[in-house]
Amino acid sequence: MTPLERVDAAIDALLAEHPPASTPNQEFRGHRYDAGLAWVHFPEGFGGMGLKPELNKHVDQRLKEAGAKPTEPHTFFMALAGPTIVTHGSDEVKERFLRPMYTGEEVWCQLFSEPGAGSDFAGLATRAVRDGDEWIINGQKVWNTLAHIADFGMLVTRSDPDAPKHKGMTYFALDMKAPGVEVRPLRQITGEAEFNEVYMTDVRVPDAHRVGDVGEGWRASLTTLMNERNAIGTGSGAGSGSTSRPGGAANDAVAIWNELDPSEQTPVRKDTLMKFWVQAEVNRLTNRRAGQNAKAGNPGPEMSIAKLAFSELNKGLYEFCIDLMGADALIDYDYTFRRPEDLDVSGMGHGPRYSFLRVRANSIEGGTTEILRNILGEQVLGLPGEPRVDKDVPWNTVPRS
């Protein structure tokens, strides 16, 4: 039996036993996980069948045609935490977290950046001290998207301050409802508080919730970061990187263009519009090809290209949208403070005024544009790296701001 035939047989059995029309969505997703159809490239017994990842699209398409609902909400963080746990977690950790993550029973967020450790993520200072079968966590994280609704957070800590900064880090699944965890909103230019600060004061985390070996947090975090850049760069099913909608976010500009008075549809503007549409389509097709050529495993540094291209395109594109709208772009936007419960990194779901403001974050989240250029130069093009004088010295001797 070929891999495709195996997948189709599993789908046929799933649909026969649990018709999506009469099965609650969360329950259906649980059965889908048990059938190995959550992530087909994951190991058997952990939501997968050990097959190539491109078969996931076939699964999604067949189940969509059968009436199954999309694997929402909060797919974005599932795309980060799931691969990290399946790659670095013990079987016990996989057993504990993967299924409720996939069904949506437990929502995740990311706890990486700190006030003094953003681009230099390995310089983080949140402290984890072992106490028997538990760890005591103290520190602060920032820019934590949707932390206010999360059940668990992907937390990276400093467990050995005497080791070099990349060596003394340990990765945990943090219970966001645990005593000592405080989430505070960060209001953005959009009026939303999608981002948060998270404070941890003497928070106790069981060692059973550790993801990867002690001191191997940097390796585990790279898996998360590569998948984050992949998710942002490909648009997570929306935006300029989407592989499903020709033109992607450029269609927002096309819609505005079609409403303009003919006198405003100048040749220069039309030329600019077509350049953006072509660039968006090139990104879409490039990402689609990359997905078709992907092998089982996690994305490599090349996905920094997609994330960088997505960020730069979106900023220029929505500036152009606002320019096309003229004075109308300055009105009819609600800046009321609100706490969103979903994530749209492209902003396409909320109109061009919102998108113009939201995409400012695209060149920061998931790795700044400057860091991504370094990754591309060093890891993709093979250029000499920048001098790093603090790489091999103990973390606690490195000056920090």
- For strands 134-142 and 169-175, give the pairing: unpaired
What type of residue sits at position 381?
L
Per the CB < 8 A criterion, the answer to whether 147 and 339 are in contact is no
Give the three-class secondary structure for 117.
strand
Tokens coding 322? 């606002």
Other CB atoms closer than 10 Å to residue 198's CB: what's the count?
25
Q: Which of 228, 264, 378, 386 is catalytic?
A: 228
Per the CB < 8 A criterion, the answer to whether 209 and 171 are in contact is no
C-alpha 110, offset from chain centre:
9
Residue written as token pair 């130069």: 377
Whether the link from the prior residue into 164 is cis, omega within 30° of 0, is no
CA torsion 183→187→188→193, rounded to 10°? Answer: 50
- Look up 228 and say whether it is catalytic: yes
C-alpha 292, offset from chain centre:
20
Tokens coding 56? 């996931």
Whole-number Å distance between alpha carbons of 7 and 39: 11
Residue written as token pair 């200072």: 125
State the catalytic residues: 228
